Structure 1
Amino acid sequence: MFDISTAEGQPSYRFSGHETFACRYAWLPKAYRAIAADASIFYDEDAAMVELGIGKNMVRSLRFWIDAMGIAHPTSERKHQLTKLAHTVFGAGGCDPYLEDTRTLWLLHWNLSSSATPAPFAWHYLLGAWPYAEFSRTEALAAFARQSQRLGHSHSEITLSQHLDVFLHTYFSARGARSGIEDSLDGPLVELRLLQQTGERRGEGGRWEAVYAFRKEPKADITNDLFAYTVLDYWERNAPGEKTIPIRHILSAAGAPGQSFKLPEEDVRARLESLSLDGRYGFAYRPSAIQGLLTRDVPISAEARTIYTNEANING
């Protein structure tokens, strides 16, 4: 039987590394070309500044984002290795070199919210563990401080505040009357409209502040192939040898498809039922009002593995 404790033990989290910058649209294609030409480029910050045309702190930030979004991973030889996803999207004849396909953006979001190791804390907590329908910046920051202390850290309020702001700017447009030119350059994941402002309320000191909520509704631009990929990816990373996984984990576990994509329970169940009727995916849906299970053969069937290794058929 699937044991979620192996996935939830006591993982480490990243509270910094992004240098207070959310990822920008042009950064990932630039990083791909730079690493393809010189795999050690990010280990020479001066050369990277010249090649990428950005400042030193932005170079460090981009190094964080290419790892967290699954574009390239550092090796023991002080180099970066580009992933299959990176080649599929940005390589010669790439399917989406300018990040115009929403499926690509959802896949980047999936990597960031579920696959990154160690996980960025704000993504793990706000997407996977926040217990309320809405949050304000003050409420989230107070929760960050409590969780940081519980994990044995002593992060300053500045560090936690900057980390929260990077999360907000990743998904919510920074454009506004008070934003400078640089601060108003939105990143690609803003296009997902995953995070929305639902209103305002008075915080501490009587000041009005924005209230945010995730858009929890069916999302047609998350295709069945993409959703199937994320189910298999989650399964492979958390319980690679298990033949069954409870539906409730797909629905509500931190880093699982239901939570990462903020999909309603009925939508997830309908998707799983539909996908189980297609033999290519290699799993069967056994519904139950109490639990419900997905079952599969181990290892993954050849056809399902093809879908899995093709990064959710993003080319399709």
Structure 2
Amino acid sequence: MSEPNYRFSGHESFTCRYAWLPKAVEALSSNPSLFSEIDEAMVQLGLGKNMVQSLRFWVQAMRVAEPGDGNHLRLTGFGKSIFGRDGLDPFMEDSSTLWLLHWQLCSHHDNPLFAWHFLFNRYNEPEIVRSEVLEAIDTESRQLARPLAKATLAQHFDVFMHTYMPTRGKKNEIIEDNLDCPLVELGLIERTGEKFNKKSVKEPVYGFNREPKPDLTMGVFAFAIDDFWKRCKSDEQSLSLSELTTGIGSPGQVFKLPEDDIRHRLSTMGSWGEDYEYRESAMFEQLVRVRNAYTTEELIEYAYEGDFANV
């Protein structure tokens, strides 16, 4: 299997902020070429040039929009279903929207965001310490066809962290909320302490929240299962508990769910009967797909129902 075409830049060092996606969807609905007209975009979106370019990056990274004809960006079915005129959550008031956007960021197969792909899937250290992670991703980048400058890697990692951790000022106070990425609300990364690094400089220590996520609805989980299945195991009629828990790009890795929570969720899905069957034995546990014809729109609607209903 060939090496993915990793992305390290395009965000212009900005995270995606609270009002950005609804603004972008409204603007693109009337003018698909907006982002190719920088001056017009700056006026219509009320953003500076670099922020406009950053927003163009994030609407595509979160699969809200995709390249169309010429320089156009067209809204995806996902983008329309959630943020459109009659969307399920146009102002991002439901936590399901945040979980879905997080999944979309982490589930690029051919051109993944490097920090998201590496840290959620392959970084096995219990602690996230900036100097240690930068050393690890520098080592990783040297194996790529085009090694990158350390400054580029550092900026990329910092954007990753600011996507999930609130911005703090020099006195460690939290800056106003609207400067943060909405995915901060998911609580996926937590500060756990501090330690001295190799240069005897004290650094903050972070870690992934690996506890059950009660606000992650079964509908969102089912959306992720279906998307992972189609992208990575499209020819398979069953997926093992191990694949869904620890596989690269799996729901277990992306959502940082413990195995027992995933097992419980899969058992619940198995009880839907007409949709999935969960098989459990002393040696093997797997989810079997019974129905294959789900549309993206159906699954997105289920994500906002709380419980995933049979149809």
Quick check: 171-180 or 88-97, which moved more?
171-180
Work out the CA distance in 1 between the residues paired with 2:33 and 2:108. 23
Partner of 1:19: 12
* Distance change (3 Å), C-alpha of 1:40 and 1:238: same
Work out the CA distance in 2 between the residues paired with 1:308 and 1:128. 27
Structure 2 counterpart SS, 1:135: coil
Partner of 2:285: 292
Structure 2 counterpart SS, 1:89: helix
Confirm or deny that 1:88 pairs with 2:116: no
Which residue identity is paired with 1:213?
A: G
Confirm or deny that 1:227 pairs with 2:216: no
Quick check: 194-203 or 116-125, which moved more?
116-125
Partner of 1:148: 141
Match of 2:62 among 62, 66, 69: 69
Which residue identity is paired with 1:54?
A: L
Q: Give how far 1:62 is off.
A: 0.7
What do residues 135-194 of structure 1 show as CA deviations (whole Å, max 9, x unaligned)?
200011011101111123220011000000000000000133458979981110001011
Work out the CA distance in 2 between the residues paired with 1:89 and 1:47. 25
* Distance change (3 Å), C-alpha of 1:252 and 1:180: closer
Which residue identity is paired with 2:129?
A: S
What do residues 42-89 of structure 1 show as CA deviations (whole Å, max 9, x unaligned)?
112121111111111111111110011111011242211101222222
Confirm or deny that 1:311 pairs with 2:300: yes
* Distance change (3 Å), C-alpha of 1:167 and 1:86: same
Work out the CA distance in 2 between the residues paired with 1:307 and 1:271. 20
Work out the CA distance in 2 between the residues paired with 1:276 and 1:312. 20
Alignment of 1:134-283 (within 5 A): 134-177=127-170, 185-280=179-274, 282-283=275-276
* Distance change (3 Å), C-alpha of 1:117 and 1:70: farther
Does the aligned pair in 1 maintain the 2:17–2:178 contact within 8 Å?
no
Partner of 1:33: 26
Does the aligned pair in 1 maintain the 2:279–2:286 contact within 8 Å?
yes
Q: Give how far 1:26 is off.
A: 0.7
Work out the CA distance in 1 between the residues paired with 2:6 and 2:296. 30
Confirm or deny that 1:51 pairs with 2:44: yes
Q: Give how far 1:258 is off.
A: 0.3
Does the aligned pair in 2 maintain the 1:234–1:256 contact within 8 Å?
yes
Does the aligned pair in 2 maintain the 1:134–1:212 contact within 8 Å?
yes
Structure 1 counterpart SS, 2:142: helix
Work out the CA distance in 1 between the residues paired with 2:29 and 2:95. 24
| TM-score, structure 2 normalization | 0.91
Structure 1 counterpart SS, 2:256: coil
Structure 1 regions of 5+ residues with no counterpart?
none
Q: Give how far 1:311 is off.
A: 1.6
Work out the CA distance in 2 between the residues paired with 1:115 and 1:276. 27
Q: Give how far 1:308 is off.
A: 6.4
Work out the CA distance in 1 between the residues paired with 2:139 and 2:213. 33
Partner of 1:104: 97
Q: Give how far 1:295 is off.
A: 1.9
Which residue identity is paired with 1:267?
A: D
Structure 2 counterpart SS, 1:152: coil
What do residues 98-123 of structure 1 show as CA deviations (whole Å, max 9, x unaligned)?
21111110000000011365111000
Does the aligned pair in 1 maintain the 2:223–2:303 contact within 8 Å?
no
Does the aligned pair in 2 maintain the 1:105–1:188 contact within 8 Å?
yes
Alignment RMSD, CA only? 2.1
Partner of 1:132: 125
Does the aligned pair in 1 maintain the 2:103–2:254 contact within 8 Å?
yes
Structure 2 counterpart SS, 1:279: coil
Which residue identity is paired with 1:87?
A: K
Structure 2 regions of 5+ residues with no counterpart?
306-311
